[in-house]
Every structure is written in C-alpha cells, then in structure tokens.
C-alpha cells in the first residue's frame, strides 16, 4: 500500500474536505437525523414524514450546486440551515492521520489545495472547528466558480486559479462521480476513500485506488 503513490511524481495535492479530510459522519448525521427532527418540530409532522419529504427534495438536486448550497436549502425549507448545523458542530471531526499527512506533505514542499463543494457557510464552520486550513496553501469552494466539482467548468476555472499540472497532480476525494470528472479533465493521480463516514459500513471501491486512512500513503522521511 505504501507504494501506491510515487511522491516524486507529485507537485500538487488537491484534497476534498467532507469524507476525505473530515469525517463524513457530521454531514450524514445532520441531513439524515438532525434536520428531519428540526423539520418535524417546525412543521408539526412526524420524523418519518419529515425524512421522506426531505429525501425526495434533496435527491432531486443531487450533484448540482444547489445540492451543496445552504442558502438554497434555507430558502427552500424555511429553516436556517447554518444555525441548525451550529447545534451539532461538536460532531465535526478530522479523519485519522489527516493532520499528520498534511504536515508530511508540507515538509516535502507539495502544494496543498482544498477543493470542496461545501457552501462557504459550511466551510467556514468546519474550518472554525478544525483549523485544518493552517496546513493548506489554498482553500476553494466550488461556489466561487458557480460550478460543482462534477462539472468540467470547475476544473477549467481551478486550473486558471492554481496553474497546476494535471499530470503531476494527485486528487483525493470520497465521491466516485467527482473522481470521474477529474479523470476526464486529465488529472493523472486519483485516490478514493473506503469509509468516508466512520460510523457507516465499509464500502468496496473498485473504480479507483482507495485507502482507509492516510497512514497508508504517508510519505516517509527519505522521500523527496
């Protein structure tokens, strides 16, 4: 597993946030448990009804920028999504070995760029709680480009911003459809995560090389 990445062939590391650097459990808990509970309380329905309504509404926008947009959901649902996330922010956590991994890459002069579909309000909350941005050179929300990572336009705008070489770039994400988009753009080194949510079942990833935790690909001291 240690030989999965040739670090001498990598200049830039693009990193997803939710499910990659951070445990996806917070997001799953919020959207599947906390939000239905608050929706039910607000609109006087039972939680099963609330969950069914929300799931149908949310799935209709999957993979679009609206799917990730807190302002869109606040307006659509009549709820302050940012405030509701604050209520359970204690569940926001960094994945095992993520900080050590970032530190090791910084020590080897790799360019570290966080690219996330998370809305800026959600991004700000998570950086406030975790402070992982201290190890990153750049943090970019796809909302800045008005295109999600699923779209080729996102990657085109990212390259204008960052001027990275796709052939010498590693992109790590927990979502296969986003890795597919990166591959279409020409990013050579792609890596997925087997278990983005620490409290959900392990999943088998076959389309791309995948890891459980970053210690599996940690660059060693002798690697330049």
pLDDT over threshold 70, residue 3: no
Q: Check whether residue 81 and residue 132 sit in a common domain.
A: no
Cβ–Cβ under 8 Å, residues 135 and 87? no
Distance separating alpha carbons of residues 25 and 91, to the nearest angstrom: 8
Q: Check whether residue 202 and residue 125 sit in a common domain.
A: yes
For residue range 78-88, list pLDDT tens digits in order. 999 999 999 99
Q: Check whether residue 19 and residue 74 sit in a common domain.
A: no
Alpha-carbon dihedral sign for residues 59, 193, 184, 126: positive
Question: 138: buried, middle or exposed (CB in 10 Å: 19+, 13-18, 0-12)?
Answer: middle
Confidence at residue 44, expressed as pLDDT on a 0 to 100 scale: 95
Mean pLDDT over residues 104-109, rounded?
A: 96
Q: Is the pTM higher than 0.75? A: yes
pLDDT over threshold 60, residue 19: yes
- φ/ψ region of 216 (left if φ > 0, alpha if ψ in -120 to 50, else beta) reads alpha
Q: Check whether residue 11 and residue 75 sit in a common domain.
A: no
Distance separating alpha carbons of residues 7 and 217, to the nearest angstrom: 9
What residues contact residue 131 under an 8 Å CB cut-off, 6+ apart?
Answer: none
For residue range 137-178, list pLDDT tens digits in order. 999 999 999 999 999 999 999 999 999 999 999 999 999 999
Q: Check whether residue 45 and residue 104 sit in a common domain.
A: no
User: Domain limits at 213?
Assistant: 2-23+92-217
Q: Check whether residue 108 and residue 182 sit in a common domain.
A: yes
What residues contact residue 80 under an 8 Å CB cut-off, 6+ apart?
Answer: 74
Q: How many domains does the chain have?
A: 2
Lookup: tokens for 161: 């911003």
């Amino acid at each position: 597993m240690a030989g999965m990445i040739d670090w001498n062939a990598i200049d830039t590391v693009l990193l997803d946030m939710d499910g990659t650097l951070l445990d996806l459990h917070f997001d799953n808990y919020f959207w599947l448990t906390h939000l239905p509970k608050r929706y039910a309380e607000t609109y006087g329905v039972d939680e099963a009804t609330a969950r069914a309504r929300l799931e149908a509404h949310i799935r209709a926008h999957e993979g679009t920028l609206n799917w990730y947009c807190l302002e869109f959901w606040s307006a659509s649902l009549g709820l302050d999504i940012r405030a509701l996330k604050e209520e359970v922010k204690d569940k926001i956590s960094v994945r095992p070995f993520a900080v050590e991994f970032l530190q090791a890459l910084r020590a080897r002069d790799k360019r570290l760029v966080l690219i996330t579909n998370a809305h800026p309000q959600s991004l700000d909350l998570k950086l406030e709680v975790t402070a992982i941005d201290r190890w990153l050179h750049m943090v970019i929300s796809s909302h800045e480009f008005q295109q999600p990572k699923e779209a080729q336009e996102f990657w085109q705008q990212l390259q204008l911003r960052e001027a990275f070489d796709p052939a010498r770039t590693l992109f790590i994400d927990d979502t296969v459809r986003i890795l597919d988009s990166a591959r279409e753009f020409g990013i050579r080194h792609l890596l997925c995560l087997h278990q983005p949510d620490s409290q959900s079942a392990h999943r088998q990833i076959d389309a791309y090389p995948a890891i459980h935790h970053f210690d599996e690909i940690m660059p060693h001291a002798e690697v330049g």
